[in-house]
A = this chain, B = another copy of it.
Amino acid sequence: MVQESIRILHTQGYKATEPRKLVLEVLEEIEKPLSPYDIQEVLRAKGKYLNHVTIYRILDLLCSLNLAHKMLSGGGFVKCSLDPVEGCHRFMVCQDCGAIQEFADEGLCQRENEFARNHGFHTEHHLSEFSGLCSRCHK
């Protein structure tokens, strides 16, 4: 929910400006990875305008608050749909329709931490991305 992101912006001392709301709305609506210029394009089609510099800065901020995420492959941005978690981002991406779905799995985190520890590595952040076919496209 955009409303929830706005709340978090406020509690962190950031303003809930019109441009920020617009970017959040676009990401929430499209649910696919979008580049800064993609976002600008979507807005233009709605008769709105944001300078690309502004979009870059907003995405930086959202990512720093874990409200958005820059996708592993492709590099587009998506809105995080789960409670923001520092340093753990997991997504499934449909290679057909491009739809993304965020997920979390505590067991997976534990298993990964353990695996890393066994190799002398001290894990702080987990990123993972599965690509494949979503239920709609797989049949």
Contact of A127 among B72, B75, B115 (CB under 8 A): B72
Q: Which of A92-137 contact B (CB under 8 A)?
A: 92, 94-95, 101, 103, 105, 107-108, 111-112, 115-116, 119-135
User: Which residues of B have CB within 8 Å of A115?
Assistant: 103, 105, 108
A36 CB to nearest chain B CB (Å): 15
A46 at the binding interface (Cβ < 8 Å): no
Q: How far is the CA of A120 from the CA of B133 in the complex (A)?
A: 9
A116 CB to nearest chain B CB (Å): 6
Give me 8 other A-B pairs in contact (C-beta within 8 A), A108-B108, A116-B130, A127-B128 excluded: A73-B127, A95-B125, A107-B111, A120-B134, A120-B135, A121-B135, A122-B132, A127-B130
24 contacts between A and B (CB under 8 A): A72-B73, A72-B129, A75-B75, A92-B123, A95-B124, A101-B121, A103-B115, A107-B111, A108-B112, A111-B111, A112-B128, A120-B135, A120-B138, A121-B134, A122-B132, A124-B130, A124-B131, A124-B132, A125-B130, A125-B131, A125-B132, A127-B130, A128-B128, A128-B129
